[in-house]
Structure 1
Amino acid sequence: MNKALLVIDYTNDFVANDGALTCGKAGQAIEQTLASLTEQFIKDGEFIVFSCDLHEENDEYHPESKLFPPHNIRDTEGRELFGSLQNIFKDHQDQNNILWMDKTRYSSFAGTNLAQLLAERGIQEIHLVGVCTDICVLHTAVDAYNKGFKTYIYENGVASFDEKGHKWALKHFKNTLGAEVIAFKS
């Protein structure tokens, strides 16, 4: 185990047609890539983190409450993984290389022990997929850069509700953060 896959915010609220803050079709279009990539990392025995946004109902003090409608509320269907990822997680959640991680900020590193978990496992290479390319994936990539991780972004494994932001972030990953933007081929 020398690399990790971070599946970021691939939940019903961010991807389903009726999600509270959905990417809709753009998010749904990456489902097969995420499922195949996750299965490949499972098969290879690599570390996988399902890093998912967590909010409390009626939390007026969280900064996102002023920016976005309520989403990913604790104990709601909106917070469950979207589509086939939910079954993949349920089928493998008891394995010691599969982890569900709550996060309350855009970055998967902010306020979590992710960096420690990666260090304990000797992981210095991370692979990012999920939504939104220009928000949570971006902020995770910035923190990964600042912490010295070799970072890969799957261009066919990220999506956003803002196409211009999505395209800008893909360039930023490569040109500013030195990440490798690649396509997953199953």
Structure 2
Amino acid sequence: MRALLSIDYTNDFVATDGILTTGEAGQKIENHLVDVTRDFISADEYVVFLIDGHDEKDTYHPENKLFPPHNLMGSNGRKLYGKLADVYEGNQDKSTVHWIDKRHYSAFSGTDLDIRLRERNIKELHLTGVCTDICVLHTAVDAYNLGYQIVVHEKAVASFDSEGHRWALRHFKNTLGAIIL
């Protein structure tokens, strides 16, 4: 069994005016990311939207020292970007489509993602979203350490750091044994 993890494809990370935007790099992957998501949903496979969510008043969160406030709960910046928002809205009532709020880079940190995947006997995780070298990378490392097979859709991941993006793709393949499609 397999699942699609759609990571942080939100306005703050993709829109031209997003707080931590990947800009054109993130916008270029939209069609491929949406197609992969639709394919998984059409096949009734498990699709999880793993979305960064921060509280502006939380002064203890370590990201506050590294990045400006982003993906704030209830903000427009936290909404899914572009066509992916329509895909989610049109399918959120399906039992195979799920949304998980996350607070850290890795979608496994502090969430029930691993439990949900194991309940469904999922062994293979397909990763899409942003940022390749931050949240996608940390999620992939945790997935590897938990024993999942990892598949990264190269045309459906992006970063604001092109060098970091290329490094992460090599790391997925050469260190985590991921399949790069």
On whether the aligned pair clears a TM of 0.5, the verdict is yes
CA offsets 1:18-59 (integer angstroms, 9 cap, x no match): 001100000000000111001100111100000000100132
Match of 2:144 in 1: 145
The residue correspondences of 1:115-154 to structure 2 (distance < 5 A) are 115-154=114-153
Tell me the equivalent position of 1:177: 176
Match of 2:94 in 1: 95
Q: Is the partner of 2:108 in helix, strand or coil?
A: coil
SS at match of 1:60: coil
Residue in structure 1 matched with residue 18 of structure 2 by the alignment:
19
Whole-angstrom CA distance in 2 between matches of 1:119 and 1:62: 29
CA distance in 2, matches of 1:43, 1:73: 31
Partners of 2:178 and 2:36 in 1: CA distance = 18
Alpha-carbon distance in 2 for matches of 1:177, 1:165: 16
Aligned positions of 1:35-50 closer than 5 A: 35-50=34-49
1:112 match: 111
Structure 1's unaligned 5+ residue stretches are none
5+ residue gaps, structure 2, are none
Post-superposition Cα deviations, 1:124-164, rounded to whole Å, max 9, x if no partner, equal 00000000000000000000000000110011110000000
| Alignment deviations for residues 1-21 of structure 1 (CA, whole Å, 9 cap, x no partner) | x21000000000000000011
Tell me the residue number matched to 1:80.
79
Percent identity reads: 57
Counterpart-to-counterpart distance in 1, 2:56 and 2:149: 36
Q: How many residues align?
A: 181
Q: What secondary structure, in the 3-state scheme, does the structure 1 residue paired with 2:155 have?
A: strand
Moved over 4 A (4+): none
Normalised to the residue count of structure 1, the TM-score between the two structures is 0.96
- 2:59 maps to amino acid: E
Q: CA RMSD in A?
A: 0.5
